Structure 1
C-alpha cells in the first residue's frame, strides 16, 4: 500500500470520526445533564479533538509532502484556503463547549448541571460549517479555484 493511499485513508477516517463525534454530542445534549452524562460527552469531545488533530496532521502532510497532487495544486487554490479557514473556525468554535465539558465532568455523578444555550448553538454552527467542507473539496478536486 502506498503512503498516499494510507494518508488519504487516515484523512477520511478522521473526517468520519469528527462528524460522528459532533453528531453524538449534539444528540446527547439536553438543557440539563448529570455530571455522569457530561463526562460521557467530554469523552466524545476528546475523541473529536484527537480526530481533528489527526486530520490536521495528515492534511498538512498530504499538502506539503507532495503525496498525490503537487503542493502548488493546494497552495494556489482559493477554495483550499476557504476549507482551511472553515476548519480553523470550527476549531475556535469548539473551544467553549470543550472547556465547559472539562470543567463540569467532575463531582457528584448525579448532580444536575444546566447547559448554557450557547453550547447547543455552537455545536449546531460547527456541524453546519463542517457540512460545507465536502462541497468545497469536490469543487477543489475538479480544479475550481486554482489560480496558479
Structure 2
C-alpha cells in the first residue's frame, strides 16, 4: 500500500522544513533588523509552525499505518521524543508571539530593534530548540529499532 510511504515522505520533508526554518531564523536574528529581515523571520516562523503541525499529524498517522499505537506507547524512546517535541513547541511560543507583534510595523515598512536582553532570550530559545531537534533523531531511531 502506498499510504505509509507517502505519509512517511511527508513526515521527513516536514522535519527538513522544520529544521531549515529554525536555522534560518537563527541565522537572520540580530538585535537590529530591517523591515525585509523582520518579514523574512516572520515567514520562517510561519513555516516553522506549519511544518511542526505537519510533523505531528504525519507522526500520529505513521503510528496507525505502521507498527501500531501499542508498539509506540510501550517504548520509552517514543515518550522522550514526544516530550522533546512538546518542549520545543512550548519554547517557540515566546518568539512567535513577539514576531506576530511586529506585523503592523513590518507592513508599514519599519524594521525592528530588539533590546539586548530580548535578543539574547530569543537567541537562546532558538538554540535550545535546535539542540532538542538534534537529539530527536536519536530517539526516533531507537524507537524504530526497538529496545537495546
TM value normalised by structure 2: 0.90
Structure 1 residue 29: Cα displacement: 0.5
2: CA distance, partners of 1:74 / 1:61: 12
TM value normalised by structure 1: 0.90
Task: Kindly indicate whether the alpha-carbon contact (under 8 Å) linking 1:39 and 1:106 is maintained by their aligned counterparts in 2.
Answer: no
**Which residue does the alignment assign to 2:5?**
5
Structure 1 residue 59: Cα displacement: 0.9
Is there any run of 5+ residues in structure 1 with no aligned partner, and where?
Answer: none
Structure 1 residue 109: Cα displacement: 2.0
Residue 99 (structure 2) pairs with residue 101 (structure 1): yes
**Which residue does the alignment assign to 1:69?**
67
Q: Deviations over 1:13-49 (max 9, x none)?
A: 1100000000000000112212332121011100111
**Which residue does the alignment assign to 1:78?**
76
Task: Kindly indicate whether the alpha-carbon contact (under 8 Å) linking 1:34 and 1:112 is maintained by their aligned counterparts in 2.
Answer: yes
1: CA distance, partners of 2:58 / 2:11: 6
1: CA distance, partners of 2:90 / 2:110: 30
Task: Kindly indicate whether the alpha-carbon contact (under 8 Å) linking 1:17 and 1:48 is maintained by their aligned counterparts in 2.
Answer: yes
**Which residue does the alignment assign to 2:147?**
144
Equivalent pairs, count: 143
Q: Which moved more, 1:22-31 or 1:114-123?
A: 114-123
Q: Summarize the alignment of residues 1-148 of structure 1 with structure 2, pairs less than 5 Å apart.
A: 2-63=2-63, 65=64, 67-107=65-105, 108-114=108-114, 116=118, 117-144=120-147
Secondary structure of the residue that 2:33 maps to in structure 1? Answer: strand
Q: Deviations over 1:116-142 (max 9, x none)?
A: 111000000000001000011111122
Q: Decide which structure has greater helix share.
A: 2
Task: Kindly indicate whether the alpha-carbon contact (under 8 Å) linking 2:38 and 2:112 is maintained by their aligned counterparts in 1.
Answer: no
